[in-house]
Structure 1
Amino acid sequence: MIKVEKVSKIYETKSGQVVGVDNVSLEVPKGEIYGIVGYSGAGKSSLIRCMNILERPTSGKVLVDGVNLLELSPKKLREARQSIGMIFQGFYLASAKTVFDNIAFALKAAGVAPSQRKKRVEELLELVGLTDKINDYPAQLSGGQKQRVSIARALANNPKVLLCDEATSALDPSTTKSILQLLKKINQELGITIVLITHEMEVVKEICDTCAVMQDGRIIEQGPSYNIFANPQEELTKQFIDTILNFDLPAKLLEACKGTILQLQFRGNLASDAVVSDMLQKFQVSGNILHGKVEYIKETPLGIFIMELLGETEEVASAKQYLEERLKQVEVIQHAR
């Protein structure tokens, strides 16, 4: 649905050139939710604005549904943008207009007849759960409600693509979760392809099929979100994953442990299998679970457990080998003392 080929964006400033996007290529399949994560200044917002030519790339190609947007005339580009909705962190609602008027404006700009606007606005407000707010003004709405209005406005002209630039960054955790569930509903029920910019791995974990990590204007790692969480390759990616999966054991606890300490990773169905129980029955070892956690990466479980194994050296080695054969990842944190 979206294909970005070797896109760069260079800004001219008084102090010289600044590279916002550096030779980025990616492909977003139709119907996917694609997350782009990175810290502030990584180039995420510049990249997503290049996707609908709000920022014109310095070089490269941007294809949406097979059409290279950079080759279109201004008129054709305006028409193409009607199939690309966009929502922002700051909502950008007209304060002097009601919820109805804010959404209807997008329909009016697209040339939709007045007789059809009311019906479409009512459909959209039902979708986003704000039918009772149709005559309210933005000042009367909460942050989450404002974002729902901006989502409804972005969907007004039945876009094929929805671009979300830090759409949940200004919201509290509970409201963020509700907005993410709404975006998932829109993706599943309407089949709209979504590209989501964020600096929060929690957002990626919740709804993204695929994830790309940006740093200094470049994509340094990308792939299925589950694989990124389970086996991050780049140091920056590991830092992001640590905000979700990491837990440090107290130094005093480690000092008190005399056995071999292992970190075990359980992926998919293995998270519910009795691997550890089977191992304890099979070998002459005892085990203490020191810490454990199961996260769901878009509804697929990923478990991390830290345990101490105690027993004769050969039995511990055999137990460890058994775990390595059954699990994707077994890491020794501390050897027996």
Structure 2
Amino acid sequence: MIEIQNLVKIYESGKQKVKGVQDVSLTINDGEIFGIVGYSGAGKSTLLRCINMLEWPTSGNVKIDGVDLTSLSRQELRRARQKIGMIFQHFHLVRSKTVFDNVAFALKAAGKSKQEIRNKVDDLLEMVGLQDKRDAYPSQLSGGQKQRVGIARALANDPNVLLCDEATSALDPGTTRQILLLLKKINQELGITIVLITHEMGVVKEICDRIAVMQDGKIIECGEVYELFARPEEPLTRSFIDSVLQLELPEHLVKNRRGTLVRLQYRGEAASDTVISDMLQSFRVKGNIIHGKIEYIQNKPLGILVLELIGDESEVKRAIDFMHERTGGLEVIEHAA
């Protein structure tokens, strides 16, 4: 378990003080994939680097499995870091060394024997699907292959925690999906806790169990991925989610509408409910479907439907109340006619 308590990180430049992280408290459970989301400058990478003390907090505590890293000596911290793997956006591979030697580096530093190193590296390269690239150099690899080497290297000392700093931001969408599936496989097979920093909500949707949304060095919202997608409270969280679910209607679909536009959200089992047909049969209104889709998040459906309701004002209101009661997720779009 990772426990972050009242963490503050202040950078000083001359007389100026900039707060990179402001009083963050957070608990990350064993074995989960935890996402930290925010735009550039939100403080998410600083927070991640404080977890393994690459950035020393100005105040506050970071505990991993009950051990307060801020209280350790340099030697004790070096030993503790062996159980915290880290992968980076730009890979950080040694160009002059082969794939084998890049992965073996941490094992050599830990004093492992040649046979132990050989066996471990071969196992890791098989896990990340790079057995045939054992003797290749980084310049001969694609971006996805370089990141696989980075993942294998981070796993060399059998860490309990894997920190991922924008691990897919330099990759194309297809390669990003492959890397995310690999991380999910590692999490499930090895039980490693993964903390994933990203500015892409699609990455979070793909593999995370819980997320924290950061803004101006603070966590403004935190919870299970499905719940935040279904019920975002903060405007920033909503904007992130809208970018993934593509809920913004083009202006030409809204313009010159005669009725009331509503956005209906189905959660869980309600995504397959007959609420629309029941509403049309129960009230004297007509309904036009303007936009609709169903997303699957953590294997649970989340449905979004935009309707134009045409009819007498009182009937439309009754229909809206009916659908809201059935789904618990209905919004009248303000710019509707």
Q: Which residue of 2 aligns with 1:257?
A: 257
Cα distance, 1:253 vs structure 2:
3.4
Look up the equivalent residue of 1:190 and give its one-letter code. L
In the alignment, is the contact (CA less than 8 A) between 2:4 and 2:63 conserved in 1? yes
Cα distance, 1:232 vs structure 2:
1.5
Tell me, yes or no, if structure 1 residue 46 matches structure 2 residue 63: no
Cα distance, 1:251 vs structure 2:
3.6
Look up the equivalent residue of 1:271 and give its one-letter code. A
Cα distance, 1:297 vs structure 2:
2.1
Q: Which residue of 1 aligns with 2:180?
A: 180
Cα distance, 1:246 vs structure 2:
3.6
In the alignment, is the contact (CA less than 8 A) between 1:160 and 1:192 conserved in 2? yes
How many aligned positions are there?
A: 337
Q: Deviations over 1:53-90 (max 9, x none)?
A: 11111110000011001111211111111111000001
Q: Which residue of 1 aligns with 2:213?
A: 213
Q: CA separation of 1:203/1:252 partners in 2, compared to 1, >3 Å: closer, same or farther?
A: closer
With normalisation by structure 1, the TM-score equals: 0.96
In the alignment, is the contact (CA less than 8 A) between 1:259 and 1:335 conserved in 2? no
Partners of 1:300 and 1:328 in 2: how far apart?
A: 17
Q: Which residue of 2 aligns with 1:102?
A: 102
Q: Deviations over 1:260-291 (max 9, x none)?
A: 22110011122122221222233333211000
Cα distance, 1:335 vs structure 2:
8.7
Partners of 1:200 and 1:221 in 2: how far apart?
A: 16
Partners of 2:269 and 2:243 in 1: how far apart?
A: 24
Look up the equivalent residue of 1:40 and give its one-letter code. S
Q: Which residue of 2 aligns with 1:76?
A: 76
Moved more, 67-76 or 230-239: 230-239
Cα distance, 1:220 vs structure 2:
1.2
In the alignment, is the contact (CA less than 8 A) between 2:242 and 2:248 conserved in 1? no
In the alignment, is the contact (CA less than 8 A) between 1:52 and 1:81 conserved in 2? yes
Partners of 2:147 and 2:227 in 1: how far apart?
A: 30
Query: Mind listing any 5+ residue stretches in structure 2 that lack a counterpart?
Result: none
Look up the equivalent residue of 1:122 and give its one-letter code. D
Partners of 2:238 and 2:277 in 1: how far apart?
A: 29
Q: Which residue of 2 aligns with 1:292?
A: 292
Partners of 1:252 and 1:53 in 2: how far apart?
A: 51
Tell me, yes or no, if structure 1 residue 19 matches structure 2 residue 33: no
Q: Which residue of 2 aligns with 1:56?
A: 56
Partners of 2:253 and 2:202 in 1: how far apart?
A: 29
In the alignment, is the contact (CA less than 8 A) between 2:254 and 2:336 conserved in 1? no
Q: CA separation of 1:335/1:106 partners in 2, compared to 1, >3 Å: closer, same or farther?
A: closer
Q: CA separation of 1:61/1:306 partners in 2, compared to 1, >3 Å: closer, same or farther?
A: same
Cα distance, 1:190 vs structure 2:
0.8
Cα distance, 1:333 vs structure 2:
1.7
Q: CA separation of 1:335/1:132 partners in 2, compared to 1, >3 Å: closer, same or farther?
A: closer
Query: Mind listing any 5+ residue stretches in structure 1 that lack a counterpart?
Result: none
Q: CA separation of 1:90/1:249 partners in 2, compared to 1, >3 Å: closer, same or farther?
A: closer
Moved more, 163-172 or 8-17: 8-17
Tell me, yes or no, if structure 1 residue 33 matches structure 2 residue 33: yes
Q: CA separation of 1:10/1:336 partners in 2, compared to 1, >3 Å: closer, same or farther?
A: closer
Q: Which residue of 2 aligns with 1:5?
A: 5
Partners of 2:227 and 2:204 in 1: how far apart?
A: 12
Structure 1 vs Structure 2 CA RMSD = 1.6
Moved more, 37-46 or 226-235: 226-235
Q: Which residue of 2 aligns with 1:114?
A: 114
Moved more, 166-175 or 297-306: 297-306
Tell me, yes or no, if structure 1 residue 199 matches structure 2 residue 194: no
Q: Which residue of 1 aligns with 2:123?
A: 123
Q: Which residue of 2 aligns with 1:239?
A: 239
Give the SS at the match of 1:256: coil
Give the SS at the match of 2:316: helix
Look up the equivalent residue of 2:208 and give its one-letter code. C
Cα distance, 1:16 vs structure 2:
2.1
Q: Deviations over 1:232-278 (max 9, x none)?
A: 22222222122112433344433432222211001112212222122
Q: Identical aligned pairs, as a percentage?
A: 62
Moved more, 142-151 or 291-300: 291-300
Q: CA separation of 1:161/1:204 partners in 2, compared to 1, >3 Å: closer, same or farther?
A: same
Moved more, 252-261 or 146-155: 252-261
In the alignment, is the contact (CA less than 8 A) between 1:266 and 1:327 conserved in 2? yes
Q: Deviations over 1:64-117 (max 9, x none)?
A: 011001111211111111111000001011111111111011111122221111
Look up the equivalent residue of 2:238 and give its one-letter code. K
Q: Which residue of 1 aligns with 2:141?
A: 141
Q: Which residue of 2 aligns with 1:222?
A: 222
In the alignment, is the contact (CA less than 8 A) between 1:166 and 1:197 conserved in 2? yes
Cα distance, 1:336 vs structure 2:
8.0
Give the SS at the match of 2:330: strand
Q: Deviations over 1:20-45 (max 9, x none)?
A: 11111100001111111111111111
